Amino acid sequence: MTKSHGIHMTTSVIVSCLTTLFTLGCAPSFSSATYAANPIANRETLSQVSTINALMAGVYDGIITSGELKGYGDFGIGTFDGLDGEMVELDGNLYQVKSDGTAHKVADAMTLPFAEVTFFDNDWQEAMIPGTTLAQLQMALDRMLPSPNIFCAIKITGTFGYVKTRSVPKQVKPYPVLTEVTKNQSIFEFNNVTGTIVGFRCPTYVSGVNVPGYHLHFLTSDLKAGGHILDLITDTTTTVLDFTPNFMMMLPGMSSDFYKVNLSGDQDQGIQQAEK
């Protein structure tokens, strides 16, 4: 059981619209695009900016600064304004993996159109068998979960025999949809590399809101390279999981293209295409 705002719950969903946050609802006024202070008093919350279907539809304008995002978590993934590379947050620092594969620590003023973050805690720790592939890793992680219906933050640190990642260049308006962007993604391959996997497993019932299943990014131990993970083989690694029962989502202001695109329909096939 967790406690938030004096209410005991096992799972909570809070949607934030603009300046005021209401449990299970949105403010009636859409005059401002600033966000209220973090309403979550405990660390057991996955906080998300926008939705994956909006990102799939080409809603790439940044709506929250990196500095503001840190108030909602010290661990996470996302992308930057204009879809400018892959974001990795580790130990409270945000890094941008650009389309050339290099990683850079970002300033607090940089904005993001999509992100998911949490304050990371160690709820489960286990060594991974060397030689584990990405598919095998996901099956092993599934066995560690207390339930497939909970959100889970994933941190895997150590040496990897092989990691394959991608990133994308910054886009210009009119923005193409994500499946078109990833047709021209840059691919990077690392052999015998040390680093950290940062990511999440989301339940299938959040399809359209987030990526069902696994969404993993990578950052090398020297903080100089990484990207969105496409494939891997472990060597000597330790897996740490943070089971997260609360979920909060922040939506863009009314001037955003978020309110102009069609977000209906099943995007699961497109998400799988864009993620792999």
Give the pLDDT of residue 110. Answer: 98
Query: Domains of the chain, with CATH numbers?
Result: 2-120+246-275 (3.30.1330.80), 124-244 (3.30.1330.80)
Dist CA 42 CA 8 (whole Å): 12
- Residue-level pLDDT at 74: 97
* Site of tokens 């940044």: 62
Task: Evaluate if residue 27 carries a pLDDT over 60.
Answer: no
Mean pLDDT of 164-169: 98
Contact 123/43 with Cβ under 8 angstroms? no
Q: Which residue has the higher pLDDT, 224 or 268?
A: 224
Q: How far apart are CA 216 and CA 64, in angstroms?
A: 21
Q: For the residues 10-38, what does the mean pLDDT come to?
A: 44
Is residue 95 over pLDDT 50? yes
pLDDT at 29: 39
Sheet strands (E) in 29-130: 45-49, 64-65, 75-79, 86-90, 93-97, 103-105, 111-112, 114-118, 124-128
Read off the pLDDT of each residue in 105-127 and give the average, rounded to a whole number.
Answer: 97
Whole-prediction pTM: 0.86
Closest CA to 195 of 156, 143, 139: 156
What integer best gives the mean pLDDT of the chain? 87
Are residues 274 and 178 in contact, defined by beta-carbon separation less than 8 angstroms?
A: yes
What span, in angstroms and rounded, lies between the C-alpha atoms of 103 and 219?
8
pLDDT of residue 4: 32
